[in-house]
């Protein structure tokens, strides 16, 4: 089950953009779970030089079956 979660987070990470200006990292995009959103925020916070994270990631809750072919939209 943990592997399934990691797979979803990895797939979601391709839908996130990161902009860094000074000490602020701004995250934009959409993910399919709150866990993926928090994981992206944690990764940004752990980046050397980043002191603030502006997390603008939107969570789009969907059924797992809808994830198939999600890469086609990008």
How do strand 16-21 and strand 24-31 relate by DSSP bridges? antiparallel
The count of domains in the chain is: 1
Dihedral sign from CA coordinates of 28, 60, 8, 39? positive
**What six digits make up the tokens of 9?**
């987070």
Alpha-carbon distance of 44 to 2, in angstroms, equals 22
Q: Which structural domain, as residue segments, surrounds residue 14?
A: 2-73
> Which domain CATH number covers 68?
3.30.1340
Nearest Cα to 64, choosing from 17, 7, 13?
7
What pLDDT digit, counting tens, does each position of 3-24 carry?
455 555 556 677 888 899 999 9
- pTM exceeding the 0.85 threshold for the entire prediction: no
Nearest residue to 28 (alpha-carbon basis) of 64, 57, 4: 57
pLDDT in tens, 23-43: 999 999 999 889 889 988 998
């Amino acid at each position: 089950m943990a592997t399934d979660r990691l797979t979803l987070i990895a797939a979601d990470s391709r839908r996130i953009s990161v902009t860094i200006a000074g000490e602020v990292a701004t995250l934009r995009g959409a993910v399919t779970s709150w866990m993926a959103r928090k994981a992206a925020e944690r990764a940004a916070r752990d980046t050397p030089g980043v002191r603030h994270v502006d997390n603008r990631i939107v969570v789009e809750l969907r059924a797992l079956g809808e994830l198939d072919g999600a890469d086609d939209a990008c």
